[in-house]
Structure 1
Amino acid sequence: MGGELVEKLNFFITKNKFSDSEWLKRGLNPSDDNLCNTMNSIFNDCAKSLIIEVQKEFNPKVIKSILKNYLLKFDKKIYDTEEREFICDYFEELSKIVNVKFNNELNSWLYGSLLNELIKFTSLFKSSEKVIETLSQQCTKCKTELNTIILEKQDDIPDSCYNIIKCKSCGEFNLIEKGPKVKNFRYENYELIEELNKEDFSREQAEIRLKQIQYFRK
């Protein structure tokens, strides 16, 4: 367990978390280079502290304390809304790696404690997302559960494609299939890289394409 966590945290450190391409994925213009370097450095230090802790023992209270201490290193007054949301997304990613609930702390930092309490209160009255089915497949490298959350089905939708995806925990590329009838869904723990139409690709050809991506995008 500890070895897998360390591997995921090391991968997190190696990522260029605030590169121009990462900003563009969010539909945003990149922030100032110095600011991005500072944010990247804080996150790397946080991940290194988490590695030290998980190598000693796994104490959720200590892990959460480390996350909170590094969150407070970000003075939210100097960041705009998009930057603050970006920061929270990466803390959420770290919290999922170490399997610690950190949403309340993130909401308090992002919105303030009073608004966070209001969010928690009003969420009790909101209807929860209706999940019909969860398709799970382990990452071939780090064994993270790569989940496809099925929200809506429709009988006349065919099983039309293979999906090449990228694990958010370790960066490994994997091949998955959603199957037929899937109309509405969302990803969990991965991002979509390519869709391969089954009219053009057999399973064997899809696996060859996966190997090409694994080799050329290392």
Structure 2
Amino acid sequence: MINKTEQLENVKKEITFESEGFYPGLADEENKTVLINLFNNIIDEFISGVENNFNDKDYVNLISKNVIRFDTYNLDTEDREYICSSFEKIMDAVDLGSSDGILNKWMYGFDIS
């Protein structure tokens, strides 16, 4: 069975900001490498969390701290949805069932929880 660290490493490979499904790809191509590197660094923080036996609250704090790092980029709705979906893949890898409304609030500006 694949462990959490391996799952997170696999998520790194999946985050490309390339066109897939309904996602048209990153609107601002110039930011692609920067955003991929940002996600790789975030995933590294989650890997460190796995190694340090983080609990759900610790992982939620990591999401809260990191999702706002994307606010400095000119992202359209599809890009923001892609970012939320990528965080959900990270959450799945560490068995985190909820971001406690953080992703929803970042995406839509309000909390539905």
CA distance in 2, matches of 1:34, 1:111: 25
What's the counterpart of residue 83 of structure 1? 79
Contact between 1:17 and 1:40, CA under 8 Å: does it hold in 2? yes
CA distance in 1, matches of 2:25, 2:16: 14
Tell whether 2:33 aligns with 1:33: no
Of structures 1 and 2, the larger Rg is shown by 1
Per the alignment, in what secondary structure is the counterpart of residue 74 of structure 1? Answer: helix
Which runs of no fewer than 5 residues in structure 2 stay unpaired? Answer: none
Post-superposition offset of 1:66? 1.1
Give, as a single letter, the amino acid of the residue that structure 2 aligns with 1:14: K
CA distance in 2, matches of 1:29, 1:49: 25
Contact between 1:24 and 1:30, CA under 8 Å: does it hold in 2? no
CA distance in 1, matches of 2:31, 2:49: 27
What's the counterpart of residue 56 of structure 1? 52
TM-score under structure 1 length normalisation:
0.46
Post-superposition offset of 1:103? 5.6
Post-superposition offset of 1:34? 2.3
Q: Taking every aligned residue pair, what percent have the same amino acid on both sides? A: 26
CA distance in 2, matches of 1:16, 1:93: 10
What's the counterpart of residue 209 of structure 1? none
Tell whether 2:107 aligns with 1:110: yes
Q: Note the alpha carbon deviations across 1:168-204, whole angstroms, 9 max, x for none.
A: xxxxxxxxxxxxxxxxxxxxxxxxxxxxxxxxxxxxx
Query: Larger helix proportion, structure 1 or 2?
Result: 2
What's the counterpart of residue 94 of structure 1? 90
The 4+ residue runs of structure 1 with deviation greater than 3 A are none
Query: Larger strand proportion, structure 1 or 2?
Result: 1
Post-superposition offset of 1:77? 6.7
| Equivalenced residues, count | 112
TM-score under structure 2 length normalisation:
0.83
Bigger relative CO (Cα 8 Å, ≥ 6 apart): 2
Per the alignment, in what secondary structure is the counterpart of residue 44 of structure 2? Answer: helix
